[in-house]
Amino acid sequence: MTDDRPGVITGKTTLFGILGDPIAQVGSPVQFNRLFRSLDHDAVMLPMRVASADLATAFQGLRALGNLAGLVFTIPHKMPMVELVDELMPNGKRVGAINSARPTADGRWQGDMFDGQGCVNALEANGHSLEGRLVSQMGAGGVGRAIAFAFADRGIARLTVSDLDESRAEKLAADLRAAFPDLAAEAGPPGVGNHDTLVNCTPLGMNPDDPLPFAESDMGGGMLAVDVVLQESLTPYLAAADAKGCAVQTGLQMLEGQVREIARFFGVGTTT
């Protein structure tokens, strides 16, 4: 006897997962499961907490699941997964990080990165053009690299990137200069100098006692403040930016901007 009610998991249900550590903050299961229901697609996305030390073992085991159709990756797995998939798609290769992977018919796994496209999609949907912008970005990890390359694709004029690991910031700046010779890309302190766009690509804001990624004195009217941290309400950083007259974009908006992109990558709702 089967149960065909919408949203009921059966033996026919296709599985997707999101891997991260921590995992409680992720919004992908809600967004993807809502999309699956809207498309009448018999699938479910599950959160999977996997520590960094266990990532390779967990991925090797998950590859053996015949009804697993795709994985999404969040902190801290976006860069390490580059070494674990069998094939990097073009954007994942240039960014050096992935947030999604899918199996092929022959059992190989392909990985690609959609964080940057999701961020840009959300900004443009809300009427924000990136062309000519002067960007100060905190964070040069997987999501930071993805957003920096996506912003460069849209014609920003300058990007100053900061990271606790200065060598990581220097590498991102160098990679951007190599790919976009007309872009003034450099590593430097956050918010220093003339910028009209502030982007937080770090976990700062996930915990209530976290410091702000940018000083309030760096924020001002007419500026754009972007955060990747997923939270139902404004993060302390975005709340401060909003109070200073900045236009703000949340991590949730960024996630919404990439869900259909990743779904298409998984072959859900359209052909790949």
44 lies in a domain? Answer: yes
159 lies in a domain? Answer: yes
Contacts of 17 (CB under 8 A, 6+ apart): 45, 46, 47, 48, 62, 68, 70, 71, 72
Same domain, 161 and 214: yes
269 lies in a domain? Answer: no
* CATH code where residue 219 lies: 3.40.50.720
Query: Which residue is catalytic, options 78, 93, 171, 244?
Result: 78
Structural domain including 181 reads 116-254
55 lies in a domain? Answer: yes
Q: Which of 200, 201, 148 is nearest to 178 (CA)?
A: 148
133 lies in a domain? Answer: yes
**pLDDT tens, position by position, for the chain (272 residues)?**
345 555 689 999 999 999 999 999 899 999 999 999 999 999 999 999 999 999 999 999 999 999 999 999 999 999 999 999 999 999 999 999 999 999 999 999 999 999 999 999 999 999 999 999 999 999 999 999 999 999 999 999 999 999 999 999 999 999 999 999 999 999 999 877 789 999 999 999 988 899 999 999 999 999 999 999 998 889 999 999 999 999 999 999 999 999 999 999 999 986 44
Antiparallel, parallel or unpaired: β 100-103 and 68-73: antiparallel
Antiparallel, parallel or unpaired: β 109-112 and 100-103: antiparallel
* CATH code where residue 18 lies: 3.40.50.10860
Distances (CA, A) of 31 to 12, 165, 242, 255, 258: 21, 32, 25, 8, 10
Global model pTM greater than 0.75: yes
Same domain, 87 and 120: no
Q: Cα–Cα distance between 95 and 115 in angstroms, integer?
A: 10
Count of other CB atoms within 10 angstroms of residue 229: 23
120 lies in a domain? Answer: yes
Q: Among this protein's residues, is 78 annotated catalytic?
A: yes
> Is-cis flag, bond preceding 90, omega within 30?
no
Q: Do residues 17 and 72 lie in contact, with contact meaning Cβ atoms separated by under 8 Å?
A: yes
238 lies in a domain? Answer: yes
Domain's final residue, options 94, 113, 132: 113
